[in-house]
Structures are given as structure tokens and as C-alpha cells.
Amino acid sequence: MTRQSTPDRPGRFRRRAILAAGLAVLLVLLWSGYWFAVNLIATNAVGGLIASMAANGRMVDCTANTTGGFPFSLDLDCSQARFSDAQADVAVGLSRLTATAPVYAPGTVAASLSSPMALTAPIRGYSWDANWSRAIADADAGLSGLKRVTFELDDLSVAAKPGTAKPPFSKLSASRAQIVAEPAGRGAYRFYLSADDLEAKVRKGADLPLISTEFDITAHDVGHSLGTDPRKTLREWLAHGGTIDVGDLLVVLGGTSARASGTLQLSAAGLLSGRLDVRLTGLNKLAKAIGKIRPGAADQVKQLVAAASMVTRPVEGEPEARDVPLVIQNGVVSVGVVPVGTIPPLRF
């Protein structure tokens, strides 16, 4: 009788273990190569962007910076970050900037900004110090450039430096601020801005009442990205004119609010035309708020409010609210056929 040979189980287990270990080593080597390749590409891209900015009069620099994040992300730690734009007359000095970009999600970057920050407009002689408790920025980019960016800021406090001559405001604070720019489909872009509990001390007069604002618009035909230079992209969009959908435009001053929506057309000269439907609430409280800012102006505001009641419509179920359509033609704002103000040309 012939004995059947039994399989060499320990030997087969060793071969499988060696194969698994070899595959693991290969994956580690491939991932390491991928990380270093991505790191090199990102470093060259950042260097090219900084060189491009420098050619246009902008400067970005760090007193000390470190990079790392291996194996899952690209990390940057930039101390004493500085940015300046000679054309816009602005210079910013930041305590610290940290950023991380997961290598498994190319194009995604999250950044954190640490206060204090020094903000100056050298030509105009303005200079402020800013502090906050939290500042976070997120961005998505592709081969065509920046696609989406969000920025959130909590507990902002800005004060003019001693010796600053005639700044437009000496103190500014807000409990929260948010900025969003994101694709809205078919080449359109949504721009959102909000600020809560905004408080300012102007150069003359008393402190302004608390202000909250919300700004939500969609600009058509911007493109599929904001490019490597969003300012240039918006300038090109402006040069061709376009359509702007105002989804929500809200300003709250003390107990008075104005909320608007509508569609506007933008000319190549930056002038707006179209119609906004505006709802005013708490107009009877406006005189008191303005009186705190400019003593003696309350009576004049009361007269304007009384005149406004003649061209506005009451809102059913809301005794303090009134509706008024605003017609805008090349920046001139009218109620009916009566001009009431102008909107300056948009500039980027």
C-alpha cells in the first residue's frame, strides 16, 4: 500500500509570509516614492507661484519655515509670515501660518492662521493690529487653479496703532466672519460673506451700533475655476460684463434691517443695472440708531423715514416691515422715477 505524502504546511506558510512581506515592502517603497514626488511637485508649484506674484509686485516670505507630513500629508509651518502687494497698497505680517495637504486627496489644503497680525497700508499711512481666537481656511485646487475656498474667523479684534493719522476706523470687532467662493455649476460661481456682531469705532462720532451682514450672490460665466490668480480671473470676467443673481443681501443695524434679492447685469465698465426687491424692517428704530452715531441727525432721519413710507408698501402680517423695489440703471438707484443714490463701479 502506497503512503500519500502530506503537504508541507510550514513551508507553504513561510512562502506566503515572505510574499506578503515583500508586497508590504514594495507598497511602502511605492508610497514613499509617490510622497516625495508629490512633495517635489508641490514645492516647485509653490515656488513658481511665489515667483509669479513677485513679478506682479507681490511678495510672500517666512522668517522660518519647516515642511514634513510624511507619509500621509504635506505639512508647512511658516513662522512670521509676511505678504505685501505694492499695487493694492497693503502689507500683512502674521505670527504663524500652518497648512496641511493630504496626499491621498490632491488639491485639498487646510490652513490655520495664528494672531497677532499687523496690517498696514504704507502709502496711505494706515496701520492696525489684529487678534482673533480662531482662523481657518480651506481650499480646493486643480490643474486649472483655485476652485473653492472658505475662510472662517472667530472673535476678531482690530485696533489702529498709536500714531496712525486719521484712519477710517480706530477699532473694529466681530464675533464671527465667514467667506466662501465655490462653483455653482455651468461656469457660475457663488460668493458668500457674513459678519456677526460687527462693531466699529469711527474716527469721528460715537461707536456704531452692532451691525450684522450677509452677502450671497452668484456670478455667471466666471469659468470653471478661479485660476492661479483669482483677481485676474475676476478682472477678465468684469471686462466682459455678466449676470449677477442676488440671492440674499442683508444688513442689520441696531433694530433696523434691509434685505434685498434680485438680478443685476454688469457692464464692462463695472456699472450695475437691474432690479432689487428690498424689505425694510424696523424703520421706526433707525432714527435712534443714527442719532447715536451723529448727534442731532435723528430729526432728519425721521423725516426721511416718513417720506419713505410714501413709496414703500406695507407687508401683510408684519407691521414693522415694508417692501420697496429699487431700479438700478448704470449705477443710479431709483425708487420709481426718483433717484435716491448711486453705486460706484465694481473694481478688482
Give the Å distances, CA to CA, from 143 to 38, 47, 104, 241, 262. Answer: 14, 16, 16, 26, 34
3-state secondary structure of 191: strand
Give the type of residue at 218: T
Lowest-confidence pick of 169-173, 264-268, 293-297, 300-304: 293-297
The angle subtended at Cα 343 by Cα 340 and Cα 348, nearest 5°, is 175
Give the Å distances, CA to CA, from 20 to 11, 17, 31. Answer: 14, 5, 16
Q: N- to C-terminal Cα distance for the chain?
A: 95
Residue 334 is placed in which grid cell? Answer: 431709483
Residue 274 contacts residue 262 (beta carbons within 8 Å): yes
Residue 280 is placed in which grid cell? Answer: 425694510
Chain centroid to CA 143: how far?
Answer: 21
Residue 34 contacts residue 27 (beta carbons within 8 Å): no
pLDDT at 325: 92
Q: Please, which pLDDT band fits residue 7 given cuts at 50, 70 and 90?
A: low
Q: Please, which pLDDT band fits residue 1 given cuts at 50, 70 and 90?
A: very low
Contacting residues for 48 by C-beta, under 8 A, at least 6 apart:
none
Give the global pTM.
0.83
pLDDT tens-digit map of 189-204:
999 999 999 988 876 6
d(CA 294, CA 306): 19
Q: Please, which pLDDT band fits residue 159 given cuts at 50, 70 and 90?
A: very high
Whether residue 138 has pLDDT greater than 60: yes
pLDDT at 141: 84
